[in-house]
Amino acid sequence: MDKRTVRNIMNREKLLMDIFTAMKNTFGSSNWWPADSAFEVMVGAVLTQNTNWKNVEKAIQNLKQHNLLTPQVMLGLSQDELAGHIRPAGYYNVKAKRLQNLLRWFNDIASCSFSALDHLSIDELRAELLAVNGIGQETADSILLYAFERPSFVVDAYTRRIFHRHSLIEEDIYYEDLRDYFMDVLPHDAQLFNEYHAFIVHVAKRWCLKNKAHCETCPLRIFIE
């Protein structure tokens, strides 16, 4: 690796950590993902596809109220029964099928035990999740980070929006390249990745809106070129 490459890596690491510090100074600790168990996180990661978190919370509450939020019980439900309980999350028939695919994988590979997968490397576990029909890159990384507590950086539309507006990435950057933009230089620490992603979501929802950016009060305003 030549000196210029090393210098670029060091510069990017410093920039990304400075951005993280600016957000942390504004928000403190995020304590995200809101859930009572790792399994609830796994379910929520599927339910949050193409919907907002408030709808996911309603669906999760439905499952809890009917004592269904365990892998063993959910495995016993038909697709129609499961779809009925998660209706508030939208696309409930599709998501019920995806949840069933994930549950069958979890049961087949680990008898629904998170610790039974501790022997797998993060890359091996990620490949396993991506092989499940209906589990895409963002969902897989969310499950890895928030349910398995593995250091896999989650990127989403908010990440793309904020970092493109700061002229740090191309708008049409591929998911894996955007993920590598962080993972190639940041310490592989699950807590750091957890907080970083949560802060990005907070900034995007409060300042870096889809149709309008409120840069004058944003904690990242100092990073605008």
Domain boundaries, the chain: 7-31+153-223, 38-147
pLDDT at residue 31, rounded to an integer: 74
Q: Is it the case that residue 27 has pLDDT exceeding 60?
A: yes
Mean pLDDT of 112-120: 97
For every residue of 61-89, DSSP letters joined together read: HHHHHTT--SHHHHHTS-HHHHHHHTGGG
pLDDT digits (tens, 9 = 90+) for 82-101: 999 999 999 999 999 999 99
Average pLDDT score over the chain: 93
Question: Token digits for 224?
Answer: 């605008």
pLDDT at residue 6, rounded to an integer: 44
Do 147 and 135 contact (CB within 8 A), yes or no?
no
The fourth-level CATH superfamily of domain 38-147 is Hypothetical protein; domain 2 (1.10.340.30)
Q: Is it the case that residue 39 has pLDDT exceeding 50?
A: yes
CATH class of residue range 7-31+153-223: mainly alpha
Q: Which one has a higher pLDDT value, 10 or 35?
A: 35
Which class for 25: exposed (0-12), middle (13-18), buried (19 or more C-beta within 10 A)? exposed
- Predicted model pTM: 0.93
Which residues, 6 or more positions from 36, have their beta carbon under 8 angstroms from its beta carbon? none
pLDDT band for position 9 (cuts 50, 70, 90)? low
